[in-house]
């Protein structure tokens, strides 16, 4: 059976090293970690009627499952990057307040 493997590459003008993401070793499924229904809906008494259909054991079905894993990795990678950026900005504000006496709300 043909194996189709999806990949994702992250590049940025400000970062010299590109990042390549692959699904890696399975098991893979279409029920992704980062693509679940929101907690807020479940807490309000909602039920998840919109789960993705399971992947078939075909080249395209396997691709769907691997793609879901890749989407999870991509979402986690980008979320981490945003958290790091926010932390750097927060650190920078703290440094500026402490070192330069800049008022947080001045800009």
Q: Which residues bind other proteins (CB under 8 A)?
A: 35, 37-38, 40-41, 44-46, 49-53
In degrees, rounded to 5, the angle at the alpha carbon of residue 53 between the alpha carbons of residues 51 and 57 is 145
Residue 5 parent element (H or E): none
- The least CB distance from residue 17 to other proteins, in Å, is 29
Is the CB of 51 or the CB of 85 nearer to other proteins? 51
Contacts of 101 (CB under 8 A, 6+ apart): none
Residue whose CB is less far from other proteins, 5 or 60: 60
Query: Minimum distance between the CB of residue 105 and other proteins, rounded to whole angstroms?
Result: 30
Report, in angstroms and rounded to the nearest whole number, the Rg of the chain calculated over CA atoms: 20
């Amino acid at each position: 059976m043909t194996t189709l493997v999806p990949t994702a590459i992250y590049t940025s003008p400000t970062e010299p090293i590109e990042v390549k993401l692959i699904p890696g070793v399975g098991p893979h499924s279409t029920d992704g970690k980062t693509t679940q229904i929101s907690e807020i809906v479940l807490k309000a008494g909602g039920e998840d009627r919109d789960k993705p259909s399971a992947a078939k054991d075909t080249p395209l079905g396997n691709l769907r499952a691997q793609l879901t894993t890749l989407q999870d990795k991509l979402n986690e990678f980008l979320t981490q990057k945003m958290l790091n950026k926010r932390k750097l900005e927060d650190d920078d504000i703290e440094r500026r307040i402490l070192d330069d006496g800049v008022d947080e709300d001045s800009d």
